Structures are given as C-alpha cells and as structure tokens.
Amino acid sequence: MTYPIGFLPKRILQLVTATAIFVLLSIPHVQAQTDEQRQAIQKFGTALQIINFAYVDSVDSPELVASAIKQMLKELDPHSAYISKEDVERVNEPLEGSFEGIGVTFQIFNDTILVVSPVPGGPSDKLGIFGGDKIVKIDGKSATGEKINNEYVMERLRGKKGTTVSVSIKRAGKKALIDFDIVRDKIPLNSIDASYMAAPEIGYIKLTRFSKTSMDEFRESVQELRQQGMQDLILDLRSNSGGYLNIAVELSDEFLPDNRLIVYTEGLRNPRENFSSTSTGSFDNNGRVIVLINEASASASEIVAGAIQDWDRGLVLGRRSFGKGLVQRPFRLPDGALIRLTTARYHTPTGRCIQKPYDEGVEEYFKDFKNRLEHGELVSADSIHFPDSLQYLTPAGRTVYGGGGIMPDIFIPIDSTRFSDYYIDLVRKMIFNTYTMSYLDKNRAQILRQYPDVDAFKTGFVVDDEMYSDFKAKAAEANVVRDADEKYYYPDEDLKLQIKALLARNIWDAEAYFVVINAIDTELSTAIDLLQNEKQFSELQGK
C-alpha cells in the first residue's frame, strides 16, 4: 500500500510522537525547547519511522540512529564524540587501568583511523608511528570506510601480548604507504616516564598523561628528588595529550599560592565555573619551574602551562601547544552508550581561550601539524603572528597570547632530524630493536657487571666504531641505507646515542632511556642553562 506525501497511518503517527517525546525526556536537564527545536526532533523521529515502515529492506534501527548521531556530532566540533555501550569502559582505560595492544590514542575521522598520539614506550612509539598518521590497512585489508568504528579498531588492533598485527600508514608528505609490523605488548600506563636529577639542584619529571594516579606519582617523585637535593624543577609536558581536568587543577595547585585562579570554564548554557588553588601546594614557594611543551601538548597540559605562565610562576619553553580547550561532558543514552558533548571552553587565568579555531572544518583542524610545518611555525617564531586583540598581560606585565594553544616564553625550533628518511626507516624496520636485543643477548651480563646502574652506564659505556659498523650492516641487510642527498640528515653520533639509550631501556626501564637520550635534547639543555642563570631567568619572568 502507498500513501500520499504528508500522510502517515495513525499507528505510525503515534510512534513518531512517542519517539519525539522519548528523545525529549531522555536528555537530562534539557532547557525549554523552541518551536524550531521541537520540529527538528519530530522531523528526526518521523524520518526514522518512515524508514522502518516503508524501506525496501529490513534495517538495524539502533545502528542507524548511532550513525546519525555520529554524523550530527561531526558537524559541531572536533572533540564531541559518540561512544557505544561496548566502548564505554575501554575509552577510559588509558587513564584508569592497563591493556594489551599496539599502544596508540586514536580517533575516527572521516571513516579513517587517525593516530592522535602513540603511547610513550609502547610498541607503536618504539616503531616510530607519529601523531597524525592514518591507519588505512590492517593485516593487508582496507581499514577505511563506513565499517570503521571504535569496536572495529579495538577488535583488530588489540590482542594478546606477543602477537603481531600489520598496519599500513598514510603519512602527510609521503606519497607511498608505510608498512609496520607491530608486536602487541602490555601498554605502559604510568603517568610519569622519567624522574631524575638533570643537573645539580635541578630535577626533571616527564609526565605523559593526567590519570587517576598522576598526583600520587608526582608527589612521590618530588619527595625523592628533594632528598637528592632538588631546588628547581623542569616539568616535561611535551606530547602529553591531557586527561582529567581535576588532575590538571591539582598539579597546578602544587606550584601556586593560595586562592589563585587556575582555569575557568564557560559555555552558552554552562555558567562560568572557576577552579582555584589552595594552600596545600608542595612547590608553591619552593624553587623555580620551567614547563616544556610542544605542538602535541594538549588539554590538561595546556591548563597547567597556562596557569604557571599567567601567574609569572615559571617559564614555558618549546613550541606552541596543540590548542585543545573544549570541555566535554558525558551524557548517557538509554542503551548505555554515551555522547561526550562539548559544553564549555577552557580559559587561562588572564582570560585566554586555549582552543584553536576549527571554523574551517574538522579535516583542516587535524591537518594542523602539517600546516604549521609548511608555514614555518615549527622552525621559526618569527612566522607566528598574533593580532593585538589576542594579547593579554600577566601580573608582572609580560605579554602572553590567546588564539589557540599556549605560546611559550622561549621558542625552540623543532628538531628536523626526526624527518630523516634514513632514521624513519631504521625505526620502522625495527633495526634499532633488532640490533639492541641481539647485542644484549650476548653482552647483558657483562654490561651489568661493568655498569651496575644507569649513571655508570651513561658515563662509561660507548657505542664504538665496531658496534656502529655492525648496526649499519644489519640495516643494509634490510635494505636501509643512507641517501647521500637526503634532505634531513640524522648525525651518526646521535644514532649512536639512540642505540645506547635503547640498550639502557632494555636493561633497566623507560626512565633509563631518557637519562641517556636527553643528552641531545635541545629543549632540556636550554631549560637547564636558564635555571643555572638566575639573572636571565628573572628577567624573562619579568621580575
């Protein structure tokens, strides 16, 4: 039977009305609806009932609704998201528990798996997979299109420790796909990757994420460093993609005196909410602070960096941070799924909005790293221009900038050697890992006898010419050879240090890796120099 346009049987109209009422009642604290909003909700319910009643084939209504919700959220902003009932527990694991897999934070973008960031120390990080990479094939099969959702990704990329999954990566600036064979492992979920004395009286803490355990780990690290003579601290938030807001507030509180605004949130339907410091901070008046950030430092990292910068409490060093300043609030749907909806924006104490613009669309938003590189922002501070309307003043009279992300007080250009094709191939084809594991199979006991701890190893162990020749021979066997005309040259001495650092990580732990490799860390060495020059530090701080 057919019906004229605009006419539906009474049974269908009743179902449509019930659907619209259900939608309205299932949203908590919903505000008064305008006629236009009510009509839109009824229109959606009507369309769904028409499809169920008249479509040529049977349809999966729950899946259809989920797809519609996902598409609606795409139209809003880059960070509002739909999470199925099956994925609700999984999405919080990087902040609350542990799991086994390839070790990446990802987002489904335009039916493609976008790597937001690799988990430091995880299998993908060790192979050289970068934030911004797109996984387009898994085990030789296409991994793009409408079938891609969180469940699809979890089923294929997670797995038991020791099992292997092959992925093909599309990387900006590379025409050909890059293939990786990733051996799954238990993903390290400690918040702090390294905590040690970087120089006399100068402590170094690398915080990877803002999780439930972060503050316990941080306070324990500070206490241990204090016992070793720490007076000043370098807090490394580079490539820290964020986490819990309350942990960011607690960490900021450690550095600020009582009753200082740390961050505030505000949205059209969410009145301003202030988050301020208390009198409990363990580092509020004890020692100077430098925060390291880069283009992958986001959200909670930006809250901490912004608060320290805005109150002239310390210096921020590195490159402009990511610019993720949108607050998501979870709304539970009737079937147990969630909508994480953006409800407000973060603002620093001076009033700066952390969120970078996204008015050119989500796709352009996630090309930000590529755009920054092409525009020269990652190599020269002179290429960054802020309008006068985005200038703010700190209490000491220093100028800070809004417009998205935190602009550091001291700019350090990106290390272009990370783009070396030779280096990328060495990592991708696991030459570093293969060589270091092979070397340790034969020499681990001897190294431990000669170097009982990391400090002794750092000072005394040398990757000599014979070792380096063996390493290059292994690379050549895998058809990895240096192109004499390559644009980005990764120095031999730095490659030797990378080998040494990986040996340290495999003998001891992730912290040992940073203790060794940080010898060529330009940002860290600049921070140490600043802390050792009290006059220059004070001048930059505006004091």
Catalytic residues: 299, 310, 324
What is the Cα–Cα distance from 264 to 271, expressed in whole angstroms? 10
| Alpha carbon separation from 25 to 6, 278, 329, 344 (Å, rounded) | 26, 40, 18, 23
Integer Cα distance of 236 and 299 in angstroms: 15
CB 237 within 8 A of CB 305: yes
Around 302, how many Cα atoms within 13 Å sit in the side-chain half-sphere?
33
Q: How many residues does the chain have?
A: 543
Q: Provide the 3-class DSSP secondary structure of residue 17.
A: helix
Q: How many CB atoms lie within 10 A of CB 51?
A: 12
Residue 170, token pair as written in the block = 């599309």
> Tokens for 111?
């039916």
Q: Mark residue 423 as left, alpha or beta (left: phi above 0; alpha: psi -120 to 50; beta: remaining).
A: alpha
Q: At 543, list the tokens.
A: 């004091």
Beta strand spans in 419-510 (E): none
Q: Can you read off the two tokens belonging to residue 479? A: 């058809």
Element (H, E) at 184: none
Burial annotation 327-365 (CB, 10 A radius, 16+ → b, else e)? bbeeeebeeebbbbbbbbbbbbbbebbbbbebeeebeeb
The string of DSSP codes covering 223-255 is: HHHHHTT--EEEEE-TT---B-HHHHHHHHHTT
